[in-house]
Copies of this chain bind each other. A is one copy, B any other.
Amino acid sequence: MSDTDPRASRTGRPRSTAADAAILEATRASLVDLGWSKLTMSDVATRAGVAKTTLYRRWAGKNELVVDAVAVLFDELELPDRGSLAADVRGVVLQFAALLERPEARTALMAVVAESTRDDSLRHRIRSAIVDRQKRLVLQGRERAQARGELRYEDDASAAARNADLIFDVIAGAVVHRTLVSAEPVDAEWASGFTSLLLLGLAGAQAA
Protein backbone atom coordinates (compact mmCIF):
# COMPACT_ATOMS: atom_id res chain seq x y z
CA MET A 1 0.00 0.00 0.00
CA SER A 2 1.95 2.96 1.31
CA ASP A 3 5.54 3.56 0.46
CA THR A 4 7.29 2.65 3.69
CA ASP A 5 7.05 -0.61 5.49
CA PRO A 6 5.62 -0.06 8.98
CA ARG A 7 7.40 -3.14 10.30
CA ALA A 8 10.75 -1.50 9.60
CA SER A 9 10.48 0.75 12.64
CA ARG A 10 9.00 -0.77 15.75
CA THR A 11 9.18 2.37 17.85
CA GLY A 12 7.26 5.62 17.88
CA ARG A 13 3.64 6.32 17.05
CA PRO A 14 2.33 3.87 14.46
CA ARG A 15 0.67 5.06 11.33
CA SER A 16 -3.09 5.14 11.45
CA THR A 17 -4.52 2.33 9.38
CA ALA A 18 -7.86 4.10 9.60
CA ALA A 19 -6.27 7.07 7.86
CA ASP A 20 -4.97 4.77 5.13
CA ALA A 21 -8.42 3.42 4.46
CA ALA A 22 -10.04 6.84 4.64
CA ILE A 23 -7.53 8.30 2.19
CA LEU A 24 -7.97 5.54 -0.39
CA GLU A 25 -11.72 5.73 -0.07
CA ALA A 26 -11.63 9.51 -0.42
CA THR A 27 -9.42 9.13 -3.48
CA ARG A 28 -11.97 6.91 -5.19
CA ALA A 29 -14.76 9.30 -4.27
CA SER A 30 -12.82 12.22 -5.65
CA LEU A 31 -12.16 10.31 -8.86
CA VAL A 32 -15.89 9.78 -9.26
CA ASP A 33 -16.75 13.43 -8.61
CA LEU A 34 -13.85 15.23 -10.24
CA GLY A 35 -12.08 12.75 -12.49
CA TRP A 36 -8.34 12.26 -12.76
CA SER A 37 -7.28 15.66 -14.03
CA LYS A 38 -9.21 17.73 -11.51
CA LEU A 39 -8.41 15.54 -8.55
CA THR A 40 -6.08 17.36 -6.16
CA MET A 41 -4.19 16.21 -3.12
CA SER A 42 -5.82 18.95 -1.09
CA ASP A 43 -9.27 17.75 -2.02
CA VAL A 44 -8.48 14.16 -1.09
CA ALA A 45 -7.05 15.29 2.24
CA THR A 46 -10.16 17.29 3.03
CA ARG A 47 -12.49 14.43 2.10
CA ALA A 48 -10.50 12.00 4.20
CA GLY A 49 -10.47 14.34 7.17
CA VAL A 50 -6.70 14.31 7.16
CA ALA A 51 -3.93 16.86 6.82
CA LYS A 52 -2.33 17.22 3.42
CA THR A 53 1.06 16.49 4.89
CA THR A 54 -0.18 13.07 5.95
CA LEU A 55 -0.77 12.16 2.32
CA TYR A 56 2.74 13.13 1.34
CA ARG A 57 4.18 11.10 4.19
CA ARG A 58 2.77 7.96 2.54
CA TRP A 59 2.60 8.58 -1.19
CA ALA A 60 5.02 10.45 -3.40
CA GLY A 61 2.21 12.09 -5.32
CA LYS A 62 -1.08 11.80 -7.11
CA ASN A 63 0.07 9.01 -9.44
CA GLU A 64 1.06 6.55 -6.75
CA LEU A 65 -1.96 7.37 -4.63
CA VAL A 66 -4.42 6.71 -7.42
CA VAL A 67 -2.79 3.44 -8.43
CA ASP A 68 -3.20 2.12 -4.91
CA ALA A 69 -6.74 3.45 -4.63
CA VAL A 70 -7.86 1.76 -7.84
CA ALA A 71 -5.86 -1.47 -7.64
CA VAL A 72 -8.26 -3.04 -5.18
CA LEU A 73 -11.11 -2.74 -7.67
CA PHE A 74 -9.36 -5.14 -10.03
CA ASP A 75 -9.06 -7.82 -7.39
CA GLU A 76 -12.81 -8.27 -7.52
CA LEU A 77 -12.47 -10.03 -10.88
CA GLU A 78 -12.90 -13.76 -10.70
CA LEU A 79 -13.42 -16.68 -13.03
CA PRO A 80 -16.12 -19.09 -11.93
CA ASP A 81 -16.30 -22.29 -13.95
CA ARG A 82 -18.99 -21.73 -16.52
CA GLY A 83 -18.60 -25.12 -18.15
CA SER A 84 -16.75 -24.26 -21.35
CA LEU A 85 -13.85 -22.14 -22.50
CA ALA A 86 -16.18 -19.97 -24.57
CA ALA A 87 -18.47 -19.33 -21.61
CA ASP A 88 -15.50 -18.53 -19.38
CA VAL A 89 -14.15 -16.01 -21.88
CA ARG A 90 -17.53 -14.36 -22.32
CA GLY A 91 -17.90 -14.15 -18.57
CA VAL A 92 -14.58 -12.51 -17.87
CA VAL A 93 -15.04 -10.09 -20.75
CA LEU A 94 -18.36 -8.90 -19.38
CA GLN A 95 -16.95 -8.70 -15.89
CA PHE A 96 -14.00 -6.62 -16.98
CA ALA A 97 -16.30 -4.39 -19.00
CA ALA A 98 -18.52 -3.83 -15.97
CA LEU A 99 -15.45 -2.77 -14.03
CA LEU A 100 -14.54 -0.26 -16.73
CA GLU A 101 -18.03 1.18 -16.50
CA ARG A 102 -17.21 2.43 -13.05
CA PRO A 103 -16.14 6.06 -13.39
CA GLU A 104 -13.29 5.82 -10.91
CA ALA A 105 -11.77 2.94 -12.84
CA ARG A 106 -12.13 4.30 -16.35
CA THR A 107 -10.76 7.76 -15.61
CA ALA A 108 -7.88 6.46 -13.52
CA LEU A 109 -6.65 3.46 -15.48
CA MET A 110 -5.72 5.18 -18.72
CA ALA A 111 -4.37 8.20 -16.88
CA VAL A 112 -1.88 6.32 -14.75
CA VAL A 113 -0.83 4.22 -17.74
CA ALA A 114 -0.19 7.42 -19.64
CA GLU A 115 1.92 8.74 -16.79
CA SER A 116 3.79 5.47 -16.55
CA THR A 117 5.22 5.94 -20.03
CA ARG A 118 7.64 8.46 -18.51
CA ASP A 119 8.02 7.03 -15.02
CA ASP A 120 9.62 3.62 -14.59
CA SER A 121 8.82 3.23 -10.91
CA LEU A 122 5.19 4.04 -11.55
CA ARG A 123 5.12 1.45 -14.33
CA HIS A 124 6.44 -1.20 -11.98
CA ARG A 125 3.91 -0.18 -9.38
CA ILE A 126 1.08 -0.61 -11.90
CA ARG A 127 2.43 -3.96 -13.00
CA SER A 128 2.68 -5.42 -9.54
CA ALA A 129 -0.48 -3.83 -8.16
CA ILE A 130 -2.80 -4.35 -11.12
CA VAL A 131 -1.58 -6.04 -14.28
CA ASP A 132 0.33 -9.07 -13.08
CA ARG A 133 -2.29 -9.96 -10.51
CA GLN A 134 -4.93 -10.40 -13.20
CA LYS A 135 -2.93 -12.81 -15.31
CA ARG A 136 -4.09 -15.43 -12.84
CA LEU A 137 -7.39 -15.37 -14.71
CA VAL A 138 -5.76 -16.43 -17.97
CA LEU A 139 -3.78 -19.20 -16.29
CA GLN A 140 -6.86 -20.45 -14.49
CA GLY A 141 -8.98 -20.42 -17.63
CA ARG A 142 -6.33 -22.28 -19.59
CA GLU A 143 -5.93 -24.97 -16.99
CA ARG A 144 -9.66 -25.56 -16.94
CA ALA A 145 -9.82 -25.70 -20.73
CA GLN A 146 -6.95 -28.16 -20.78
CA ALA A 147 -8.67 -30.32 -18.18
CA ARG A 148 -11.81 -30.27 -20.32
CA GLY A 149 -9.81 -31.26 -23.37
CA GLU A 150 -10.54 -27.99 -25.16
CA LEU A 151 -6.89 -27.02 -25.27
CA ARG A 152 -3.74 -29.12 -25.48
CA TYR A 153 -1.17 -29.14 -22.72
CA GLU A 154 1.89 -27.27 -23.92
CA ASP A 155 5.34 -28.80 -23.75
CA ASP A 156 7.57 -25.74 -23.80
CA ALA A 157 7.09 -23.84 -20.56
CA SER A 158 8.46 -20.54 -21.85
CA ALA A 159 6.30 -20.75 -24.95
CA ALA A 160 3.30 -21.40 -22.74
CA ALA A 161 4.12 -18.32 -20.67
CA ARG A 162 4.48 -16.18 -23.78
CA ASN A 163 1.16 -17.49 -24.99
CA ALA A 164 -0.55 -16.59 -21.75
CA ASP A 165 0.83 -13.06 -21.94
CA LEU A 166 -0.38 -12.79 -25.51
CA ILE A 167 -3.88 -13.91 -24.65
CA PHE A 168 -3.97 -11.54 -21.71
CA ASP A 169 -3.02 -8.59 -23.89
CA VAL A 170 -5.57 -9.56 -26.53
CA ILE A 171 -8.48 -9.91 -24.13
CA ALA A 172 -7.74 -6.97 -21.88
CA GLY A 173 -6.62 -4.80 -24.77
CA ALA A 174 -9.72 -5.45 -26.84
CA VAL A 175 -12.09 -4.69 -23.97
CA VAL A 176 -10.22 -1.54 -22.98
CA HIS A 177 -10.03 -0.33 -26.55
CA ARG A 178 -13.68 -1.03 -27.22
CA THR A 179 -14.75 0.71 -24.00
CA LEU A 180 -12.44 3.69 -23.74
CA VAL A 181 -11.12 4.41 -27.23
CA SER A 182 -13.98 3.38 -29.47
CA ALA A 183 -16.32 4.33 -26.61
CA GLU A 184 -18.87 1.69 -27.54
CA PRO A 185 -20.60 -0.64 -25.10
CA VAL A 186 -19.36 -4.13 -24.37
CA ASP A 187 -22.66 -5.98 -24.29
CA ALA A 188 -23.48 -9.68 -24.52
CA GLU A 189 -23.49 -9.54 -28.30
CA TRP A 190 -20.05 -8.01 -28.55
CA ALA A 191 -18.70 -10.44 -25.97
CA SER A 192 -20.00 -13.36 -28.01
CA GLY A 193 -18.53 -12.01 -31.23
CA PHE A 194 -15.19 -11.43 -29.59
CA THR A 195 -15.18 -14.89 -28.03
CA SER A 196 -15.89 -16.52 -31.39
CA LEU A 197 -13.07 -14.58 -32.95
CA LEU A 198 -10.66 -15.49 -30.18
CA LEU A 199 -11.49 -19.17 -30.22
CA LEU A 200 -11.97 -19.78 -33.91
CA GLY A 201 -9.94 -17.09 -35.61
CA LEU A 202 -10.87 -14.83 -38.48
CA ALA A 203 -11.81 -17.47 -41.01
CA GLY A 204 -13.32 -19.81 -38.47
CA ALA A 205 -15.54 -17.21 -36.86
CA GLN A 206 -16.79 -16.22 -40.29
CA ALA A 207 -17.74 -19.77 -41.14
CA ALA A 208 -19.64 -20.27 -37.90
Does chain B have a CB within 8 A of A17?
Answer: no
Most-contacted residue by chain B among A110, A116, A206 (CB, 10 A): A110
Identify the stretch in A4-12, A51-59, A167-175 within 8 Å (CB) of chain B at 4 or more residues: A167-175
Instruction: Please give the count of copies of this chain that the complex contains.
Output: 2
Does chain B have a CB within 8 A of A157?
Answer: no
Residues of B within 8 A of A129 (CB): none
Indicate if the CB atoms of A206 and B107 lie closer than 8 Å: no
Indicate if the CB atoms of A166 and B197 lie closer than 8 Å: yes
Indicate if the CB atoms of B107 and A182 lie closer than 8 Å: no
A201's partner among B108, B118, B123, B201 (CB-CB below 8 A) is B201
Judged by DSSP, the binding face of A is helix
A127 to B118, CA, bound (A): 25
A175 to B116, CA, bound (A): 17
Does chain B have a CB within 8 A of A18?
Answer: no
Identify the stretch in A22-30, A41-49, A148-156 within 8 Å (CB) of chain B at 4 or more residues: A148-156
Residues of B within 8 A of A165 (CB): 182, 184
Contact status of A35 and B181, CB under 8 A, knowing A193-B166, A202-B199: no
Indicate if the CB atoms of A116 and B202 lie closer than 8 Å: no
A206's partner among B115, B116, B152, B202 (CB-CB below 8 A) is B152
Indicate if the CB atoms of A177 and B172 lie closer than 8 Å: yes
